[in-house]
Structure 1
Amino acid sequence: MTKLYLTIILCCLFGLSVQAQNAYFGTRGTISFDKVTYTKARMRQLSNEMNSTMMDRGMGMMEHLDKMPESHTEKLNFYFDENATVLMPEESTGDTKQNGEVKMRAPTVSSGAVRGGRSQGASRIGGNQRGMFRGGANKNGKVLYQDLKAGRADIQLDIDEKYMLSETLDSITWRFTEEFRNIAGINCRRVNGATKDSLYLIAYYSEEIPISAGPALTHGLPGMILGLVIPEMHIQYWATAINYSNKLVPTDWREKKSKQMKLSEFSDLFGRYMPRNRQNESAKKRILEQLVY
């Protein structure tokens, strides 16, 4: 009987050992994201907030509002490892249009979660979004890089000239909830967050990927953010697929000839081209948010 007990114990210990050896913690790989921008909502909010000096432009925008799609979806690749992340557009994007709208391929949050707030974006600072922030990786959009160990971020973009904007990662205050949802096959927990500039965020993260990071330079949670909602900007990020690998995040996206500067310096520089009555801290905040989100 003693020998039988000993055999059972050894088998259990051996089984646990094998399980531990085969356990895989997803610390490297690629996440496919859909970035959904609700274009009509953003443009409608912009038109409503136009002051008297910009009234003609605001009325002109309203005339074309009905012709705009309800939303636009951009396909992004998010590379991650233990030390860093890189977010960049896919080489080729193919939004599926249906009845004049860009069809979403990702889940949406409830209307209450995305209702309210002010619309913010490139259009608010007097420029076309596509023309304003183009370039990046092979002329295919801006690239966002996080150095998770050093707490630093780099943003690469092309506005006639190539820029590499560097900044420290700002802290985000998170409040945990007991709400959960499945995203890309993984159970995620909802948290509500706020940046230092009081921008409200809704995030869904999972500890199954034990990397404290997410799209749009989000971080600070005990796992990967797979869903992100920014109500004020009418923007949502949703993971659609996760592929694990042993590869480190790519580095060939960096343009060696990019002009180096701080993110705040770029905001001050670009603010010079704005109408005088909009050269204020609020306008600069919108520029920074557009660059990040």
Structure 2
Amino acid sequence: MNKILILSLALLFGISAQAQYAYFGNRGVISFDKISYTRAQTREMMKKFEEAAPGQMGGRHFWGGDINNMPDSRTERMTMYFDENGSLLMPEVSDEENKDTARGQARAGGGRGNRGGSSMSMGAVSVHGGGGGAMMMRGARSRGGSSKVLYQNLKSSQAEVQVELDDKYILKDSLTNITWRFTDEYRNIAGFECRRVNGATADSLYLVAFYTDQIPVSGGPALSHGLPGMILGLAIPEMHIQYWATKIDYHNEVIPNDWRDKKTKAMTLDDFAKSVGRFFQRGDDSGSAKKSILEQIIY
């Protein structure tokens, strides 16, 4: 009888230990690789310029260079903090990259002189933080990276995006609604089993996402959300951009709250889109320009 009791207790504790081992937390840090297919992006931008001003683009030559000599893609390392209430995505920049940027800005007079339509179209929107991760964000300005900070509050369905153009801005708005359709395709990403879903925004931007229910937070990169778990893979075919998680670390801390620059101007995404329409291609109507700028800001 005693042997049976001991065996039952051992099995009970074994099941408990397995359940504890299978637990996945809802606070941590995810490292992402953001891949921008720069040659395809540039070809598409050239096409839009050519449609607006026929014969002025010089075929495959663009701003004095040959598009065929461009790198096919650029990979940026991103860091996303998450907790049960939301997520915070920012670029990861090394100390060496910060030094390179400082030298580049000194040669270019601080890097603020470029006011042409190309800066926003190529995604070279820069951002400065105000503490905590601030120094991490300053290195991407001269590299044309997506150096912006994106915060989403999943409880209130609100988003904040910090960017710098002529001035520094905190852009606030509600999270974009995304309609998701589930598939039976699965993929392992960073050691997690992820299910594919196809999504579309209200303005018909197509998304492909891979999420895992092993991280019980309904968030993801680029303000993606709305699935029963964390998005570890995200592709935006129209913009030639992809996000892929490479590493997940759990901890007990909430999202850092000192990332906002105190000198930023607060406005809605809608107002920001109207105020910087001059940075977009000639020939765009207001609706197209608004859609384009919002996509560049978010993705």
Relative to the length of structure 1, the TM-score reads 0.82
Q: Given the alignment of the two structures, is residue 128 of structure 1 paired with residue 136 of structure 2, yes or no? A: no
Alignment-derived partner of residue 27 in structure 2: 28
CA contact (8 A) 2:123 2:296 kept: no
Matches of 1:64 and 1:35 in 2, distance apart? 25
Q: Given the alignment of the two structures, is residue 56 of structure 1 paired with residue 56 of structure 2, yes or no? A: yes
**Deviation sequence 1:210-241 (CA, Å, 0-9, x none):** 11000000001111100001100000000111
Q: Given the alignment of the two structures, is residue 269 of structure 1 paired with residue 261 of structure 2, yes or no? A: no
Q: How much is the aligned-residue C-alpha RMSD, in angstroms?
A: 2.4
Alignment-derived partner of residue 185 in structure 1: 191
Query: SS of the counterpart of 2:62?
Result: helix
Matches of 1:131 and 1:241 in 2, distance apart? 25
CA contact (8 A) 1:79 1:87 kept: yes
Paired letter, 1:204: F
**Deviation sequence 1:130-186 (CA, Å, 0-9, x none):** 784112333242100011111100000111211000010121111111111111111
Deviation of 1:19 after TM superposition, in Å, equals 4.6
CA contact (8 A) 1:75 1:93 kept: no
**Structure 1 gap segments, 5+ residues each:** 96-124
Alignment-derived partner of residue 223 in structure 2: 217
**Deviation sequence 1:62-95 (CA, Å, 0-9, x none):** 8520221000001000110111210000132899
CA contact (8 A) 2:77 2:93 kept: no
**Residues 145 and 200 from structure 1, CA distance in 2 versus in 1: closer, same or farther, beyond 3 angstroms?**
same
Aligned length: 263
**Deviation sequence 1:87-133 (CA, Å, 0-9, x none):** 000132899xxxxxxxxxxxxxxxxxxxxxxxxxxxxx922247841
Deviation of 1:6 after TM superposition, in Å, equals 4.3
Matches of 1:209 and 1:225 in 2, distance apart? 9
Matches of 1:228 and 1:93 in 2, distance apart? 28
Alignment-derived partner of residue 44 in structure 2: 45
Matches of 2:127 and 2:243 in 1, distance apart? 21
Alignment-derived partner of residue 116 in structure 1: none
Tell which deviates more after alignment, 36-45 or 130-139.
130-139
**Deviation sequence 1:5-40 (CA, Å, 0-9, x none):** 444444433444455556532211111100000011
CA contact (8 A) 2:52 2:283 kept: no
CA contact (8 A) 1:145 1:153 kept: yes
**Deviation sequence 1:170-205 (CA, Å, 0-9, x none):** 211111111111111111111111011110000011
Relative to the length of structure 2, the TM-score reads 0.80
Alignment-derived partner of residue 264 in structure 2: 258
Query: SS of the counterpart of 2:56?
Result: helix
CA contact (8 A) 1:271 1:279 kept: no
Paired letter, 2:152: Q
Paired letter, 1:53: A
Matches of 1:14 and 1:128 in 2, distance apart? 60
Q: Percent identity?
A: 52
**Structure 2 gap segments, 5+ residues each:** 98-115, 140-146
Matches of 1:132 and 1:38 in 2, distance apart? 14
**Residues 275 and 39 from structure 1, CA distance in 2 versus in 1: closer, same or farther, beyond 3 angstroms?**
closer
Match of 2:78 among 76, 79, 102: 76
**Residues 52 and 167 from structure 1, CA distance in 2 versus in 1: closer, same or farther, beyond 3 angstroms?**
closer
Alignment-derived partner of residue 174 in structure 1: 180
Paired letter, 2:126: R
Match of 1:227 among 233, 238, 243: 233
Tell which deviates more after alignment, 155-164 or 138-147.
138-147
Matches of 1:128 and 1:159 in 2, distance apart? 9
Matches of 2:57 and 2:297 in 1, distance apart? 23
Match of 2:165 among 153, 159, 165: 159
CA contact (8 A) 1:213 1:219 kept: yes
Alignment-derived partner of residue 87 in structure 1: 89
Matches of 1:208 and 1:284 in 2, distance apart? 36
